[in-house]
Structure 1
Amino acid sequence: MTVGKLIRALGLPESTRVDQRVPKKLLAEHGAATALDNRQIQDGVEEIRWLAALKPHLIGVPAFEDAQRQYVELAVLSLALKTGAKLGRLVELLHRAVPYPTLLLTASDSGVSLSLAHLRASQNEADEMILDGDLMAVVVPADGGGEAFLSALALARQPQSNLYALYQGWLDTVDALDIARETGRFQPSLTREHALARHAALQQCRQLQSKVEQLRTQAAKERQLARQVTLNQEIRAGQTELQDLQRVLAGEAT
């Protein structure tokens, strides 16, 4: 999978293209919080490019504003990292530095990843935007997640009521790609409510998987028979719950 293939899958209008290099120093000035952040930027970032600016008059999707957010533009950027760079922190710094909700395509040792995060106005600093909720970052499989994912990623397939809804559509699409790592098949969520239910099930699934692995480790070390029996019962219960969550992720239940 390449950044170029993902850009083509987005199907962005030519009028939205910017394709300008962003100096690393701007990321350091607007995103870095510590001296360590600055070093990571200088040592880890190969190139940043502002690929596209999605504005209402260019894509026919209205702006959005409420008490906390003002979505007047969406940004599409690419980030190329050097070998050995720490992916997570650098991606977070870039999302914090850009004043618009951003769809970021990052090329790193891990492959190509997609990341998104909603923004809201800071309560403490005027005219400052901060991340609103968790940053979502998912590595795209080598096959691009399949034609179903690439098709679902297209701009034209996202909600068109306003820029906030459009960006949420991309978030839900990338979340569905993350869910496909558990189910083995990409399947877009049918509604916003369906997406919320699947996202919650995914978090529960991964927490439960971690718990079951810990129980298995304990059971392998346990020497008391009664305790082994108890641990094995807990493992079986966890596996049953995991199967139920897998059905939610696969869309068999909501």
Structure 2
Amino acid sequence: MDFPATIEDFYSNLDVPESCYLGKRLFKKHFYDNGQLTATDKKAFKEDIESIEWKYTLKPSTINIQSFEDDPHEYLEVALIQVTLSSDKRHLRIAEVIQKAIPYPVVIVFSCGSSIALNAGLKRISRADSNKMVIEDCLDTGWIPLESPEVWQNSFLDDLQIKNLSFQNFFQFYQDIAERITAYNCAVHTGSYSLAPSEGESVDRGEALKELARLERKLTELRNKLKKEKNLGDQVQLNTKSKQIKDRMDAIKAVI
């Protein structure tokens, strides 16, 4: 992809077959009626969303990929939805509402100004109610500036092309998208985009990212305490704990 780029360049690079194009507008009322929105959710939808478009439907009749069903999973098709925002502050909350409201695999492309964010929700059939889907994990890239991406962001965008994904079935296809978003989120920490962990390492990248997020929250908490602490001995202890957490984070970053 050449930069500076636009949302149109992103779709051109993605290269979804024209046979999958739907271009159907979705109204906010659809999500009000089909989701349990809190007052905060409704506020985000009302104030932040400019438009929602069901851009592509990938299914066996529109692309050469087969549906997939087993005991916990039902991947009959994949929808790609574009959400254009006026503010980028609450896109994760909006993504959660949309993912919960649509009971099959969805890729959401958020657009705000010249930046995009990609969101995927790994779903399975509810054990309590076979007519419902639950989200096992929600993956999100955060905002990517199309006009001036970092080298590793550019590598991710170039890798995210339909031709690079599995055509075995829609489960594998969607897993490949999730794998690339996970690799992207690892690159946020390492500065290098790669589909595989560091050579010779065996690590669950998803769990490693969750642990990094937990450690980051803990480190922020310790730093806030340090700012308020007057006792020299307690300051030393807090600094020591902070150093231990930073060392642990560096060790995780070295293997993802």
> Which TM-score band (shorter chain)?
0.7 to 0.9
Partner of 2:77: 73
> Once the two structures are superposed, what CA deviation does each residue of 1:3-59 show, in whole Å capped at 9, x if it has no partner?
323222222111111112122222222234346544543443321111111113433
Larger helix proportion, structure 1 or 2?
1
Partner of 2:16: 12
CA distance in 2 between counterparts of 1:195 and 1:111 reads: 33
Partner of 1:159: 166
Q: How many matched pairs?
A: 246
Determine which of 209, 228, 241 is the counterpart of 2:235: 228
Determine which of 199, 205, 214 is the counterpart of 1:198: 205
CA distance in 1 between counterparts of 2:183 and 2:87 reads: 28
CA distance in 2 between counterparts of 1:108 and 1:153 reads: 19
Matches within 5 A, 1:1-254: 2-34=6-38, 37-83=41-87, 86-108=90-112, 111-125=115-129, 127-131=131-135, 133-142=136-145, 143-144=148-149, 146-189=153-196, 197-249=204-256
CA RMSD of aligned residues (A): 2.8
Scaled by the length of structure 2, the TM-score of the pair is: 0.83
CA distance in 2 between counterparts of 1:47 and 1:34 reads: 20
**CA 99–176 in structure 1, closer or farther in 2 if over 3 Å, else same:** same
CA distance in 2 between counterparts of 1:219 and 1:36 reads: 33
CA contact (8 A) 1:82 1:108 kept: yes
Q: CA deviation at 1:227?
A: 2.8
The amino acid across from 1:29 in the alignment is: D
The amino acid across from 1:100 in the alignment is: Y
CA contact (8 A) 1:45 1:85 kept: no
Q: CA deviation at 1:204?
A: 1.6
Percent sequence identity over aligned pairs: 26
Partner of 1:252: none
Scaled by the length of structure 1, the TM-score of the pair is: 0.83
CA distance in 2 between counterparts of 1:237 and 1:93 reads: 37
Residue segments in structure 2 that go unaligned for 5+ positions in a row:
none
CA contact (8 A) 1:40 1:85 kept: no
SS at match of 1:206: helix
**CA 110–96 in structure 1, closer or farther in 2 if over 3 Å, else same:** farther
CA contact (8 A) 1:32 1:38 kept: no
> Once the two structures are superposed, what CA deviation does each residue of 1:101-144 show, in whole Å capped at 9, x if it has no partner?
0110012379421101022223444533332x132222242135
Residue segments in structure 1 that go unaligned for 5+ positions in a row:
250-254
